[in-house]
Structure 1
C-alpha cells in the first residue's frame, strides 16, 4: 500500500511540475480580467492536499454532510463567493451561496453564466461527449435539444395526452403499497422502492411510448440504478482521465460495461419506434392508445451541427438515460421527503386531507384538473422542495468567456456552483427556515407568490434559475402534486411504531435522500 501511495504522490508531483512549466512557457495574452484575483478560498498544499482529495473522491461512501459543513465554514470565513483549487484543473471551482449573487449571475447575466465546464471521464462517456441537455455547451446544440424536449414532450397538450399514463402509474403504486402493507393489521412498509418503480414505469412509457412488460422495466431500472449507485466512484475518472483510467482500471471497465448494456437495451427500443413511426402516425387518428414519446421526437430531430444531421443512436441513448434518471430520482426523492414530513406532522397531513375531501368526491381519485383548486397541496409541495431540495447544488455552470464577477476573475471553463439548499434556508428570507411549515406559502405568508423560476428574485431555486433552469420543472410539480394528493386521499400515513421518530438525516446518492428510508404504516381511508 505504501509503495502504491508513494508512486501516486510522485506521479502527482510530476504532473504539477509539468503544469507549472507549461504555464510558464505558454505565451501570455493580455486580458482585461488578468489582474483580478480569483475569489478567496482555502490554501492547500500543492500536491498532498489535492492528492488526498483525489483519493477521497474515489470512495463510494462519500460524506456529503462533511462536505457541506466544510463549505459552510469556508463561506463564513471567506464570504458568499469562494473558490477551491482542484488537482483535476488549473482553474478553481467557484461556490456561490448567496441568493442576490446567484440572481446577478444566473438571471441578470444569464447568457454569460449559461455554459457548462468541459466534460471528461465518465461524464463524457455517458453524455456522448456533452450531447445531452444538461451537459451540452451553451449554443445551438443545447438550444435544439432543449427546445425539442419543451415543445415535443413537455408542451401542455402533450402533458395532457399522458394523463392516462399517470393514472396507470398511480394504480401501480397504490396496488404495490396496499400489497406491501397487507402483512398484518399494522405492518410497516419501506416506501422508497415503490415510489421509484412507479415513477420509473411512468418515465419509461413517456420515453419509449410503450407499456413494457414488468420484467423489461425492471431490467432497465436495474441498469440505471447501477449507473447512479456508482456515480461517486466514477467521478475519480474525471481527474486526469488518461492517468486515472490506468490507476482505476476496474472502475473504467465497469463504466464501459454499463454503457455497453445501455446501448444493447435501449437501441432495440429506439429502432422499434423509428421503424414503426410512420405506421404509428397513421394509427394516431384511428386508435386512442397512441402515445407520442420522447424517442419519437429524437429520431425526427435534426441538430444544427455537421450540416443539420440526425442524432446518432449513441446520442439518443444518452438523452433517454438523462430523461429517465432526472425524471425518476428527483421526483421519487422529493416525494419521500414530503411524505416523511406528513408522517412527522400529522396535523399537516390532516389539513391536507381535509382540503382534498372538500374538492374531490368521496370515492373518486384526485384528477389533474382538481389540483388547481388545492392551494394547501401546492404549499406542501413547495415547502418540501424548499426544505429538502433533491440536489443541494445545481449542475455546475461555467462562463462562456473569462469574466469579472463581483471584483473577481472567473476563468472560462471553471465550474461555478450555486448552493440551492443554503439559498432556500436563508434566515433573512424565511422564518425558522429549517422547520417544515407549508403555511408560509399561503396567502399573506412570507412565501406567498414566490417565483421559483427566480426571474424577479431568487428566494428558493430547487430547479435552478436562468437559462439553464430545469426544463422539466412543470412536469415535476405536476407529478408531485398528483401523487401526494392521491396518496393522502387513499391512505392515512403513520409512524412505523408508536412514538417512533422519523429520521430526517440526509445522505448523498445521486440525489440527497433520507439516510434511513421512510418506513411507515399506511392505512386505507375509511369510506363513509
Structure 2
C-alpha cells in the first residue's frame, strides 16, 4: 500500500523545476509499453488518482497494453509479465537468468540484515546456502513428518477454540483468526522447538504482524529524495527492529541452552529450524549467522507460512459454505476414509483424492497473492522483443490465471471435480514445470516458494479436521458471501468470514 503525505505535493512543486533536464535510461531502451509516465514521479499519481487497489490498477493496464507492460513508480521501473508462456520462458526456460532479486526498499533493509533471507537474497552463494538448508534440513517430506505430533496438537487446539467460541457466541466463529492462531502455533514450535504458553504465542504473533506492517511500501521507497521528510517513520522502523530483536533473542538463547543440555528448559521437540542455523556454514563466509541474522531468518520462517495458510483456510471454508454439495461430498470422503470413531490424520489425507482436488480448486480461484515475490535478472536480456535491464523489478502478475476461460472451463464455478479422475484438469501441475502452466500459486522456477509442501500439508489437514468436526454455514443464515478480496500481506476476504458451526457428532469429545 502506498502512503501519501501532503508534503509530497509541496515537494513536487520544487521537483518540477528539474523537468527540462530530466532524462532516464529507459529512453535508450526498448522497454515494454505502458501508460505514459510523468518525469520523476512516473505513474505514481495515476495509481493514486485511480482510487483502486494497486492490483486492480495493474489489471486495467494489462487489459489495455497486453501481457507484458511497464510501470514507472518513481525511481523504480516495474516490468510485468502476466502470460503463462512468457512466465514459463522467463522463470523455467531461463530460470537462472531471472532468479535474482532487486535492491530492497530502505525500510525492508532495516529488517533483512543486508537481504540475509531465503526470499530476499540476491541469486548467489548466500541464497544457495540458506535455501538448501531450509529445504533439505527443515521442509523435506521426511523432516516434515517429524512434526506430525506438533500438528495434531495444534489441530486439537484449533477444534477446542472453535467449539469454545461457538458456545460463547451462539454457534458463530471468526474463521481467519482461529485458523491463523493454529498455523502460527505450529510454525512457532517448528522454528524454536520450545513450549510456549498462549500469552507468549499472542505476543510473538503481534510482533510479527508489526514487522509486516512496518515494511509495507511507503512513498519514499519510490522517491528516495523524499526520505528526509520521513525521518520519524525511519526512526520508528529502527525502534521496532530493536524491539523485535530484544523480544526474540531470549527464545533463541533458550533453544541454544536446550540443545546443549537435553531435557532442560521447556523444549517441546527434539529438533527445530533454529538448530540448523546456529552453526550453518554459508558459502563464501567464515562465520555462522549473527544474532541479528538469526532473528531475521526466524521471522521469515514464521511470517512466510502463517498468513498464506490461514488465508487459504478462510477462502476454503467460504467456498464450502457457498457450495454445500462440495462440503457434503468432502465429509462423506472423510467418513469413508476414517470411519466415525477417530480423528482424520495426515496419513488419511494422502488417501483422499477429493480433499486434494478441493485444495487445488481453492488455489486456482484464490491464490495466496496476486503477485509472486519480485524477480530481477542477473544480466541484461530480452523477452518478447523487449529489453529487460538488471535494474528493473520483474513482477509476475498471476491474478488473471485462475479465471481465464482460455485455460479453464466455467472458471467462475468452484468445481473440484475438474481435478478428479476424468476431469479436464486432472494433470495440472501447480509447480509449472510440466505441461501448460495454468496456475502457479506458489510461484515457479528456482525461486518457487520453499514451503509449498508444508503449506499443502497444513491446509489439507485443517480443512479435513474442520469439516469432520463441524457443519459450516453462513452467518447470518442465508447471507450471500462476498468473494471479493483485498491485499493485506496476502489476499484476504474483503469482509472477514464469520460462520455458524454445528458439531456433527460426539467425535470431538471422544
TM-score (ref. length: structure 2): 0.92
2:485: which partner in 1? 506
Instruction: Judge which range, 109-118 or 69-78, deviates more.
Output: 69-78
Q: Decide whether aligned partners of structure 1 residues 39 and 373 sit closer, same or farther in structure 2, where only a CA change above 3 A counts.
A: same
1:41: which partner in 2? 34
Say yes or no: does 1:247 pair with 2:229. Answer: yes
CA contact (8 A) 1:9 1:51 kept: no
Q: Match for 1:324 among 299, 302, 307?
A: 302
Q: Distance in 2 between matches of 1:267 and 1:288?
A: 16
Say yes or no: does 1:107 pair with 2:92. Answer: yes
Say yes or no: does 1:226 pair with 2:210. Answer: yes
CA contact (8 A) 1:493 1:520 kept: yes
Say yes or no: does 1:268 pair with 2:247. Answer: no
CA contact (8 A) 1:382 1:438 kept: yes
1:27: which partner in 2? none
Say yes or no: does 1:339 pair with 2:332. Answer: no
Q: Distance in 1 between matches of 2:96 and 2:501?
A: 48
Q: Match for 2:10 among 7, 11, 24?
A: 7
List aligned pairs for 1:278-427, cutoff 5 A. Answer: 278-280=260-262, 290-306=269-285, 308-427=286-405
Q: Decide whether aligned partners of structure 1 residues 17 and 136 sit closer, same or farther in structure 2, where only a CA change above 3 A counts.
A: farther
1:68: which partner in 2? 55
Q: Distance in 2 between matches of 1:273 and 1:526?
A: 40
Q: Distance in 2 between matches of 1:432 and 1:328?
A: 31
Shift of 1:392: 0.5
Task: Show CA shifts across 1:350-390 (max 9, x none).
Answer: 00000000001312111111111100000111111110011
Q: Distance in 1 between matches of 2:397 and 2:358?
A: 22
1:129: which partner in 2? 114
Shift of 1:211: 1.6
CA contact (8 A) 1:386 1:421 kept: no
Q: Distance in 2 between matches of 1:299 and 1:210?
A: 16
Q: Distance in 1 between matches of 2:321 and 2:276?
A: 41
Q: Distance in 1 between matches of 2:333 and 2:112?
A: 43
Q: Match for 2:194 among 206, 210, 226?
A: 210
Q: Decide whether aligned partners of structure 1 residues 347 and 37 sit closer, same or farther in structure 2, where only a CA change above 3 A counts.
A: same
Say yes or no: does 1:139 pair with 2:116. Answer: no
Say yes or no: does 1:175 pair with 2:154. Answer: no
Q: Distance in 2 between matches of 1:475 and 1:388?
A: 18
What 5-or-longer segments of structure 2 have no aligned partner?
none
Shift of 1:52: 3.1
2:151: which partner in 1? 166
Task: Show CA shifts across 1:406-461 (max 9, x none).
Answer: 11000103111111221222211101212211111111212201111100131100
Q: Distance in 2 between matches of 1:73 and 1:51?
A: 15
Q: Distance in 1 between matches of 2:252 and 2:19?
A: 45
CA contact (8 A) 2:312 2:362 kept: yes
List aligned pairs for 1:482-501, cutoff 5 A. Answer: 482-501=461-480
Shift of 1:115: 0.6
Q: Decide whether aligned partners of structure 1 residues 164 and 500 sit closer, same or farther in structure 2, where only a CA change above 3 A counts.
A: same
Q: Decide whether aligned partners of structure 1 residues 250 and 289 sit closer, same or farther in structure 2, where only a CA change above 3 A counts.
A: closer
Q: Distance in 2 between matches of 1:50 and 1:83?
A: 10
Q: Decide whether aligned partners of structure 1 residues 209 and 53 sit closer, same or farther in structure 2, where only a CA change above 3 A counts.
A: farther
Shift of 1:222: 0.8
Q: Decide whether aligned partners of structure 1 residues 2 and 464 sit closer, same or farther in structure 2, where only a CA change above 3 A counts.
A: closer
Task: Show CA shifts across 1:127-174 (max 9, x none).
Answer: 112111110011111010000001111122221110011011111111
What 5-or-longer segments of structure 1 have no aligned partner?
25-32
1:238: which partner in 2? 221
Q: Distance in 2 between matches of 1:527 and 1:3?
A: 60
Task: Show CA shifts across 1:490-514 (max 9, x none).
Answer: 1110111222111212111111101
SS in 2 for 1:85: strand
Q: Match for 2:497 among 518, 524, 527?
A: 518
Shift of 1:235: 3.2
SS in 1 for 2:450: coil
Shift of 1:69: 3.1
Note the aligned Cα RMSD (angstroms): 2.6
Q: Decide whether aligned partners of structure 1 residues 70 and 442 sit closer, same or farther in structure 2, where only a CA change above 3 A counts.
A: same
SS in 1 for 2:261: helix
Q: Distance in 2 between matches of 1:244 and 1:172?
A: 48
Q: Distance in 1 between matches of 2:41 and 2:96?
A: 37
Q: Distance in 2 between matches of 1:248 and 1:151?
A: 42
CA contact (8 A) 1:122 1:237 kept: no
Q: Decide whether aligned partners of structure 1 residues 183 and 299 sit closer, same or farther in structure 2, where only a CA change above 3 A counts.
A: same
Aligned length: 502
Q: Decide whether aligned partners of structure 1 residues 494 and 52 sit closer, same or farther in structure 2, where only a CA change above 3 A counts.
A: same
Q: Distance in 1 between matches of 2:359 and 2:94?
A: 30
